[in-house]
């Protein structure tokens, strides 16, 4: 008994490792197909990048008192596509900023990994998820054909010619495209187009999932959500009492609820005692541990209905993450076009998340708990204060979306 208890404790202790420490997953890595191992390396670095970016966004002054929600997957993909055309210091900063170690991975490995990721999401024949990229090129600009070909092949990019001198028209063209790809969820990605733009790279992701076990709308009630100690806001609180996978991570005093969708995707809802502590501690190994150790048991859960939207200009956080050269005079994007001085003017990101009784839609949603007293003891888990959400694919643990709900009403 003692032994069993001890080994579980050891296995459930998570050590967050920094960059540069890689798990390929098998001892016989050498005998594995190298493209498989570089795929798993890219995927593991993408997870780490997503969590690092979350921490930067959450700590940014403009995020104070706001929900945080974004798609790590979409940001990695856009920056990886950009890195195809970057050279010199600009390339090495993008590469290491994304977490890729250039002594273990080449740009071609990264391109192939994204191709495999996109082939997989395109290949499942499901309409639940769509992701991809697009490149808008000015009529008068000559991009290198090999750059465009790599984007088309590896990043599933669609290419379009536009006239960026017509800044309103070109912004509209891009916004319409993104609106179409996200089923209307993101309808104004570009506010105003800099007329000196010659190329605009887009990555998009749309996900719509039905809960494997939906909430019963008849049980949804008006409730309250505690934004902080002094502020309560009204929410529509959904409720169900079911066998649900949960885990209590004592090391970081966080309760984890696993709500699977009716496909291979899942939402993880993380209810910490102390949000700052969770945000500080979380790393990809936690997700692996929770998925492995959570156990189905009867739970009475309360999750708010909500619909949120976020918008970011990522220039500053990317610079903080070491990707400075691409924004300045020293930018080297000569892989995109020869003999022209190119630099990145903006990296913008928007995301939306709608959660209701039937499921969740993310293109990038809370209550007063009317606790039904029952004679059986059923533990209650009520998301009526700030919590984090992660939408992940169960097998690869690819983090499609990640965020923090502080106030479901804004």
8 A C-beta contact, residue 202 and residue 134: yes
Task: Determine which residue in the list 29, 104, 219, 233 makes contact with ligand NAG, applying CB under 6 A.
Answer: 104
Per residue, the 3-state secondary structure of 249-270, as one string, reads EHHHCEEEEEEEECCCEEEEEE
Bridge partners for 138 per DSSP = 162
Bridge partners for 408 per DSSP = none
Q: How many residues bind ligand NAG (CB under 6 A)?
A: 12
The verdict on 34 binding ligand NAG (CB under 6 A) reads no
The verdict on 23 binding ligand NAG (CB under 6 A) reads no
Give the contacts of 312 (CB within 8 A, at least 6 positions apart).
57, 70, 348, 349, 350
Pick 16 or 104: Cβ nearer ligand NAG = 104
Contact window for ligand NAG (CB under 6 A) among 96-104, 161-169, 290-298, 389-397: 96-104
The verdict on 214 binding ligand NAG (CB under 6 A) reads yes
Least CB distance to ligand NAG at residue 216 (A): 12
CA neighbor of 73 nearest in space, from 410, 409, 402 = 402
Pick 19 or 292: Cβ nearer ligand NAG = 19
C-alpha of 216 from chain center: 28
Least CB distance to ligand NAG at residue 189 (A): 21
The verdict on 188 binding ligand NAG (CB under 6 A) reads no
Least CB distance to ligand NAG at residue 156 (A): 4
Pick 45 or 223: Cβ nearer ligand NAG = 45
The verdict on 122 binding ligand NAG (CB under 6 A) reads yes
Contact window for ligand NAG (CB under 6 A) among 40-48, 101-109, 179-187, 290-298: 101-109
| Dihedral over Cα of 326, 332, 337, 343: its sign | positive
Contact window for ligand NAG (CB under 6 A) among 30-38, 59-67, 99-107, 323-331: 99-107
Least CB distance to ligand NAG at residue 281 (A): 9
Task: Determine which residue in the list 175, 253, 396, 409 makes contact with ligand NAG, applying CB under 6 A.
Answer: 253
Considering only residues 333-352, where is the footprint of ligand NAG by CB under 6 A?
none
Task: Determine which residue in the list 210, 295, 297, 341 makes contact with ligand NAG, applying CB under 6 A.
Answer: 210
8 A C-beta contact, residue 396 and residue 222: no
Percent helix, strand, coil in the chain, to 5, is 35, 30, 35
CA dist 201 to 132, 174, 344, Å? 11, 10, 10
Task: Determine which residue in the list 34, 35, 101, 231 makes contact with ligand NAG, applying CB under 6 A.
Answer: 101
The verdict on 396 binding ligand NAG (CB under 6 A) reads no
Largest CA distance in the chain: 76
Angle between helices 145-154 and 107-123 (to 10 degrees): 40
The verdict on 153 binding ligand NAG (CB under 6 A) reads no
Least CB distance to ligand NAG at residue 387 (A): 17
Least CB distance to ligand NAG at residue 274 (A): 7
Task: Return d(Cα 390, Cα 71) in angstroms, integer.
Answer: 10
Task: Return d(Cα 132, Cα 152) in angstroms, integer.
Answer: 10
CA dist 274 to 152, 153, 197, 251, 319, Å? 45, 45, 44, 12, 29
Interface residues with ligand NAG (CB under 6 A) are 19-20, 101, 103-104, 122, 156, 210, 214, 253, 262, 273
């Amino acid at each position: 008994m003692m032994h069993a208890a001890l080994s579980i404790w050891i296995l459930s202790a998570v050590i967050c490792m920094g960059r540069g420490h890689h798990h390929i997953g098998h001892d016989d890595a050498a005998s594995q197909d190298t493209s498989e191992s570089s795929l798993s390396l890219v995927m593991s670095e993408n997870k780490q990048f997503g969590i690092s970016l979350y921490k930067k966004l959450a700590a940014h002054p403009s995020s104070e008192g706001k929900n945080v929600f974004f798609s790590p997957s979409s940001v990695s993909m856009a920056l990886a596509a950009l890195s195809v055309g970057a050279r010199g210091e600009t390339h090495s900063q993008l590469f290491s900023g994304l977490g890729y170690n250039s002594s273990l991975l080449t740009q071609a490995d990264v391109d192939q990994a994204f191709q495999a990721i996109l082939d997989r999401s395109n290949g499942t024949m499901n309409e639940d998820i769509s992701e991809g990229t697009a490149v808008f090129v000015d009529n008068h600009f000559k991009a290198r054909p090999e750059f465009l070909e790599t984007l088309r092949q590896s990043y599933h990019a669609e290419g379009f010619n536009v006239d960026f001198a017509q800044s309103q028209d070109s912004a509209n063209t891009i916004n319409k495209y993104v609106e179409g790809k996200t089923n209307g969820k993101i309808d104004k990605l570009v506010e105003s187009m800099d007329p000196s733009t010659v190329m605009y790279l887009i990555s998009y992701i749309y996900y719509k999932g039905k809960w494997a076990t939906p909430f019963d709308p008849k049980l949804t009630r008006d409730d309250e959500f505690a934004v902080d100690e002094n502020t309560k806001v009204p929410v529509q609180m959904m409720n169900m009492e079911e066998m649900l996978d949960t885990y209590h991570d004592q090391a970081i005093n966080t309760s984890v609820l696993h709500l699977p969708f009716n496909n291979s995707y899942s939402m993880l809802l993380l209810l910490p005692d102390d949000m700052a502590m969770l945000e500080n501690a979380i790393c990809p190994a936690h997700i692996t541990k929770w998925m492995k150790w959570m156990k189905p048991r009867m739970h009475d859960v309360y999750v708010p209905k909500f619909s949120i939207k976020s918008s970011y200009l990522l220039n500053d956080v990317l610079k903080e993450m070491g990707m400075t050269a691409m924004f300045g005079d020293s930018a080297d994007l000569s892989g995109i076009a020869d003999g022209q001085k190119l630099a990145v003017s903006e990296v913008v990101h928007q995301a939306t998340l709608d959660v209701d009784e039937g499921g969740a839609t993310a293109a990038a949603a809370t209550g007063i708990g009317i606790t039904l007293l029952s004679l059986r003891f059923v533990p209650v888990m009520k998301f009526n204060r700030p919590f984090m959400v992660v939408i992940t694919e169960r097998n690869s643990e690819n983090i499609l979306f990640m965020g923090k709900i502080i106030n479901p009403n804004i």
